[in-house]
Amino acid sequence: MITGHLPVIAVMTPLLGAILCVLTRSSILAWGLTLIGAAIPALSSLIILVQVLSRGMLSYHMGGWEPPWGIEFRIDAANAFVLVIVSAVGLCCAFFARKSVDEEIPQSSQPLFYTMLLLCLGGMLGVVATGDAFNLFVFLEISSLSAYVLVAMGAQRERRALTAAFNYLIIGTIGASFYVIGLGLIYMLTGTLNMADIAVRISTLGDNTALRMGFAFIMVGLSLKFAMFPLHFWLPNAYTFAPSVVTAFLAGTATKVALYAGLRVLYTMFSIGFLFQTETMLYVFLPLGLAAVFAASITAIFQDNVKRMLAYSSVAQMGYLLIGISLANIGGLMAAVLHLFNHAILKSGLFLAIGCVVYRTGSCSIAAFRGLGHQMPWTMAALVIGALGMIGMPATVGFTSKWFLVLAAIDSGWWFVALSIVAGSLLTLIYFGRIIEAAYLQPAPENSTITEAPFLLLLPVWLLMITSITFGINSELPVTLARAASQALFLDPHNGLPPQVSP
Amino acid sequence: MDKNFFLANYNYWAVVVLMMSGFYVVLSRNHLIKKIVGLNVFQVSVFLLYISVGKIIGGTAPILTGKPELFSNPLPHVLILTAIVVAISTTAIALSLAVRIHEAFGTLDEAGLIAIEHAIERESVQSQ
Amino acid sequence: MSATLALGLVLLLPGVGAVVIGLLHHFPNIREAMSLLTASLLFITVLYLLNAHLNADPQQLQLAELLPGLPVVLVTEPIGLVFAALSSFLWVVISAYSIGYMRGMQERRQTRFYIFFALAMAGVMGVAFAGNLLTLFLFYEMLSLSTYPLVVHRETEEARRGGRIYLGILLGTSIFFFLPAMVWTWWLAGGLAFTPGGILTGKIEGTAAAVLFGLYLFGVGKAALIPVHRWLPAAMVAPTPVSAFLHAVAVVKAGVFTVLKIGVYIFGVGFLSQTSASEWMMWIAAFSMVMASVIALRKDELKARLAYSTVAQLAYVTLGVSLASPMGALGGALQIVSHAMGKITLFMCAGAIEVAGGKKYVSGLRGLGRKMPYTFTAFLLGSLCIIGLPLTGGVWSKYYLMKGGADAGEPILLAFWILSSLLSIAYLMPVVVRGFFLPSPAENEPQQSLEPETSKAVPETIREAPLWCVIPACLTGILSVVLYFLIPSITGFVAPVLEGGVPQ
């Protein structure tokens, strides 16, 4: 039965598509393959999500080997939700890629570009789907390696993309190695690599220095990957100089996936009761999350390159996620998962809108935005909607996550945190205000003949923005999903429903 | 701490020394190729950690003969095969990036690269 | 037409109006007719709802579920209906006035102006009919955002700076104070529905209640309590119809209306007086009232003077709510009505003076009254209403407020009120006096006013402003007198929800 194989289909289609892509020389064919390779995972993850919600956790045994010996794809409400987010953003970006890539990547290397895009997507989906800690590392590196290449492909327009990719590579590899070291320590203690199995054995171990070391190495490694402040220095340059569609894709997925991996480690491998972990939340994640919100937002205000501005904004948004997680209660976790979803939609949409601007003007400096409000009304309207979402105006998705974050902070009695969250929104208002003011209130340069972006580019942008408004006005669905996801993570996985096993 | 503590765990000490020297090279060297070398040393230390953990003194290769035998744990070794593949790919990409950087900037020295990038930044600000 | 449908129409009409106005970009005459038509239809709809409510048929309409358990709901209730009727009526007036002003000043981008005007009106209607605090917040923010393009309409550097302050303070206060206060209330009470008698009784007390009340009052930046009043003078860069709209109808009234709703339906007047949570805010409001009047006295630019006068008059409402007595809240509600009528008159006159005479400064108005008698007479009527002299609508609100102050046992407040009223005479009357009684400057006499060189060239001979400008101003001027006779019936309508805390 095909539905039983959906987890592996979702992960393998992009990888297989990548292999086919590399064989073709035609960029249109490669794009078609990319669309298929992104659409099938999107569809399958939707079905998986429905299945998981109705029937509980889904466990797929790779090659029929029983876990903990074989590799297990273990999908509960949390990763089903993240799978949908990643594959949906991937599909939107794949759709956007055609026109944008034509403009930014030389014809001859376009099939290779699509290959990398598919590899990256497949790797990320693998990270999310897998229940095996070492397998997670392999998928993480598949996605990271292709992401380095994708960033470097921006060199056609801006040679600084190369150094940005190099730095990204160095830091990403160090992060991955840290993860492997930590995993090695944990493997020595537990003798298993299956996350659920690790969780069972850790609970019998008690406190132990090697365990702490392993935990620390893993968390630092993943923090590098999800650009936790102050380990974010690779991110602004990589996002700024990458091709537009790559920026949108990475902003919506890469950091999210790494953070998801972090959540798995925190909540599934080490249960919340683990003493060391609660301390980490309170004394490490909370201050760093707050620092990220303020430092990165303030830096964003002073950027003249819009892509870099939004890149810093991404670092700040990761801060919100960390704050939500560090509240160490289910409300905070739920707010964080919800924000992960919202931010993925908004930030990819915004970066795609900027991609439209780059497509027409060839620049993403704030000066290039002058007068665009009248020349590219649809693009700019989408940008405004995205900006309102980021600020957290009601009737956009951004509002719901702010609401639940503040609620969780108040629930914990942390007034200072609640006020910091809303203060961060004000900083967001300032830097988006700069873009919008330039676009609408400053005249276009003389003799400028810029017109609206083509429909093919606008469609995915508006799709994401309409999603933002729809779920902003009726937030029941994402809130329910986020709640189910946080419960799956937070509550003891062994008390949940028995997994439904398929080969 | 007695002597045995050091000797009994000599494999860990080797790993730690390699890891830190690799890490140090990555952070301190300006030349991109040297950074890649450092990164390799760093990764190799991780491989050693896994491999040495799997080895059991007196153990044989894990071939089941039906008799109870002492054998080394094969899983870490297998894992490291995968990790080595990852490391090689990383090195390949890093080196090819280094080639492209040299073509584009004419230097592989990080300080020099930063100086060039700042110059580009200044130009773009002035051109507005 | 069912009344529930009408409730949906109050949002739909301005929204559809905005779209149609946008489509009629190339036909200015039809476009402006549409604008007037939309405004009139909206007013009729609100009257219909008012009538339905009077026939004991309160309506409720759920639009969406913004957050689980927190729907967007529109309901009809007395204070909201009065506010909606007032603002939709004044929208008709201001639409007519805009036509004269925008054409007279040859403003650019008039279509955009009318579109956002209509959208802002949708926001006002949403605020007026909001059935819970979240709905109110949603439309409150929508109002801030949709008025921003109106404030920066002229797209000059000055307008951009004004717009920054405007949006920065309004959104800033609402996000930084209002939102946490709302989440806190939700956390405490498990609901945000507007309930007569409040929802917080027994849930919070002491200092925490006072802090929560303060968060709300400063969070509603539109109520322009000092020190979050800076956006109001900053928004003066906008064209005059916008200023009139901001100061009399939409934004400030939405602000004090929100304060009133929070005081009456979230805290509850009884709860406020028991816990004395609002006592400290009372003094801040009193200070704001006097301070803003003093600043107004020192402003020479007519619109800036009116802006500070607004800050002072808004503090009356906040003060009324903070008194925590039914009389105070009633006074606040009436103050919304009478001040709206008076202030819109003053602003429309200021605009008419600008269109016809090119004058923006009080010192430049000498003798103008004899050339523009209707405008200046309307200005006089509006001033009397603001000051609160008998036979204008303003007297009632002042009366109830003072009575509330006396009831609350705060005789010192009376002194504040008297002082503030005297100050309002001092800053409003000179305009009329200069206009009517001082001689016009001789032809070759050097200009003594601060009128900058850059301001619009003074027409050769100053005559009365265009009819589209003068008639609306005179109409509201007369209405501020008529209001004197209308207010007792409004009192009868609103009072039941305030007195016993029981819906009628």
Q: Does residue A467 contact residue A389 with C-beta atoms inside 8 Å?
A: no
Q: Looking at residue A88, what is its pLDDT?
A: 93
- Minimal CA separation from A407 to chain C, in Å: 6
Predicted confidence band at B1 (pLDDT cuts at 50, 70, 90)?
low
With CA atoms as reference, the chain A residue closest to B113 would be A163
Residue C459 pLDDT exceeds 60? no
The length of chain B in residues reads: 128
Residue C32 pLDDT exceeds 60? yes
**Cβ neighbours of C72 in A, within 8 Å:** 473
**Cβ neighbours of A411 in C, within 8 Å:** 187
**Cβ neighbours of A145 in B, within 8 Å:** 86, 89-90, 93
Asked if the C-beta of A418 comes within 8 angstroms of chain C's C-beta atoms, the answer is: yes
pLDDT digits (tens, 9 = 90+) for B54-92: 777 777 777 777 777 777 778 888 889 999 999 999 999
pLDDT digits (tens, 9 = 90+) for A350-384: 999 999 999 988 888 888 888 888 888 899 999 99
- Report which secondary-structure segment, H or E, holds A449: none
DSSP letter at C174 equals: I
DSSP letter at C373 equals: H
Q: Does residue A422 contact residue A402 with C-beta atoms inside 8 Å?
A: yes
Q: Does residue A178 contact residue A220 with C-beta atoms inside 8 Å?
A: yes
Asked if the C-beta of C78 comes within 8 angstroms of chain A's C-beta atoms, the answer is: no
To test the contact with chain A by mutation, choose from C173, C183, C218, C237 the residue with the greatest count of A C-beta atoms within 10 A, namely C183
- Minimal CA separation from C247 to chain A, in Å: 24
A227 sits in the region (left: phi over 0; alpha: psi -120 to 50; else beta) called left
CA distances from B58 to B8, B61, B72, C434 (A): 16, 10, 8, 110
Q: Does residue A357 contact residue A379 with C-beta atoms inside 8 Å?
A: yes
Residues ≥6 apart with Cβ < 8 Å to A157: A104, A243
- What would the two tokens of residue C55 be? 């026939």
Which of A181-185, C53-57, C87-91 has the lowest average pLDDT? C53-57
Mean pLDDT, chain B, whole residue set: 85
pLDDT digits (tens, 9 = 90+) for A314-355: 999 999 999 998 887 888 889 999 999 999 999 999 999 999
Has residue A267 been placed in a domain?
A: no
The CA angle A368-A371-A374, to the nearest 5 degrees, is 130
Interface of B with A in 36-95 (CB under 8 A): 39, 42-43, 46, 49-50, 53, 75-76, 79, 82-83, 86, 89-90, 93-94
CB-CB under 8 Å, B104 with A162: yes
DSSP letter at A414 equals: -
ipTM at complex level: 0.92
The beta-carbon neighbor of A437 closest among C160, C179, C187 is C160
- Minimal CA separation from A365 to chain B, in Å: 9
Quote the CA–CA distance of C302 and C244 in Å, as a whole number. 13
CATH number of the domain to which B70 belongs? 1.10.287.3510
What subunits touch chain B, counting only 3 or more CB pairs under 8 A?
A
Quote the CA–CA distance of A103 and C317 in Å, as a whole number. 59
Predicted confidence band at C103 (pLDDT cuts at 50, 70, 90)?
confident
The beta-carbon neighbor of A166 closest among B19, B75, B101 is B101
Quote the CA–CA distance of C38 and C14 in Å, as a whole number. 7
Predicted confidence band at C231 (pLDDT cuts at 50, 70, 90)?
confident
Asked if the C-beta of B23 comes within 8 angstroms of chain A's C-beta atoms, the answer is: yes
Q: Looking at residue C272, what is its pLDDT?
A: 84
DSSP letter at B60 equals: B
Relative to beta strand C70-75, strand C60-67 is antiparallel
**Can you give the residue range of the structural domain that contains B86?**
3-127
Asked if the C-beta of A456 comes within 8 angstroms of chain B's C-beta atoms, the answer is: no
- Minimal CA separation from A331 to chain C, in Å: 12
Quote the CA–CA distance of C124 and C258 in Å, as a whole number. 11
The CA angle A252-A256-A262, to the nearest 5 degrees, is 175
Backbone angles phi, psi at C450, to 5 degrees: -85, 10
Q: Looking at residue A70, what is its pLDDT?
A: 80
Q: What is the DSSP string of A462-489?
A: HHHHHHHHHHHH--HHHHHHHHHHHHHH
Residue C431 pLDDT exceeds 80? yes
**Cβ neighbours of A395 in C, within 8 Å:** 66, 138, 142
More confident residue, C48 or C500: C48
CB-CB under 8 Å, B125 with A177: no
Q: Looking at residue C503, what is its pLDDT?
A: 35
Quote the CA–CA distance of B126 and A322 in Å, as a whole number. 38
Give how many domains chain A has, as a whole number: 1
Per-residue pLDDT of chain A (503 residues; tens, 9 = 90+): 567 788 888 899 999 999 999 898 888 899 999 999 999 999 999 999 998 888 888 888 887 777 777 888 888 888 899 999 999 999 999 999 988 888 888 888 899 999 999 999 999 999 999 988 999 999 999 999 999 999 999 888 888 899 999 999 999 999 999 999 999 999 988 888 888 888 888 878 777 788 888 888 999 999 999 888 888 888 999 999 999 999 999 998 999 999 999 988 888 888 766 656 677 777 888 999 999 999 999 999 999 899 999 999 999 999 999 999 888 788 888 999 999 999 999 999 999 999 999 998 888 888 888 888 888 889 999 999 999 999 988 888 989 999 999 999 998 888 889 999 999 999 999 999 999 988 888 888 887 788 888 888 899 999 999 999 999 888 888 898 998 888 888 775 544 433 444 44
Asked if the C-beta of A477 comes within 8 angstroms of chain C's C-beta atoms, the answer is: no
Helix then strand then coil, % of chain A, to nearest 5: 80, 5, 15
Q: Looking at residue C233, what is its pLDDT?
A: 86
Q: Does residue C405 contact residue C414 with C-beta atoms inside 8 Å?
A: yes
Q: Looking at residue B20, what is its pLDDT?
A: 92
Residue C158 pLDDT exceeds 90? no
CA distances from C360 to B41, C299, C366, C453 (A): 76, 11, 12, 12
CB-CB under 8 Å, A419 with C175: no
Quote the CA–CA distance of A253 and A241 in Å, as a whole number. 17
Backbone angles phi, psi at B31, to 5 degrees: -80, 135
**Can you give the residue range of the structural domain that contains A303?**
272-498
Give how many domains chain B has, as a whole number: 1
Q: Looking at residue A496, what is its pLDDT?
A: 40
The length of chain C in residues reads: 504
Q: Looking at residue C499, what is its pLDDT?
A: 59
Quote the CA–CA distance of B59 and B48 in Å, as a whole number. 18
Mean pLDDT, chain C, whole residue set: 84
Tell me the mean pLDDT in the region C98-124. Answer: 84
CA distances from C76 to A414, C52, C132 (A): 37, 9, 12
Residue C452 pLDDT exceeds 60? no
Relative to beta strand C70-75, strand A500-502 is unpaired
Tell me the mean pLDDT in the region B92-107. Answer: 92
The beta-carbon neighbor of A426 closest among C67, C163, C175 is C175
What subunits touch chain C, counting only 3 or more CB pairs under 8 A?
A
β-bridge partners, A500:
A58
CB atoms under 10 Å from CB of B109, counted, come to 13
Picking from A160, A79, A62, A158, the residue whose alpha carbon sits closest to that of residue A124 is A79
Tell me, what amino acid is at C6? A
Residue C451 pLDDT exceeds 70? no
Query: pTM of the prediction?
Result: 0.91
**Cβ neighbours of A403 in C, within 8 Å:** 67, 179, 183
Predicted confidence band at C117 (pLDDT cuts at 50, 70, 90)?
confident
Quote the CA–CA distance of C215 and C173 in Å, as a whole number. 9
In chain B, alpha helices (H): 3-8, 10-28, 32-54, 74-105, 110-127
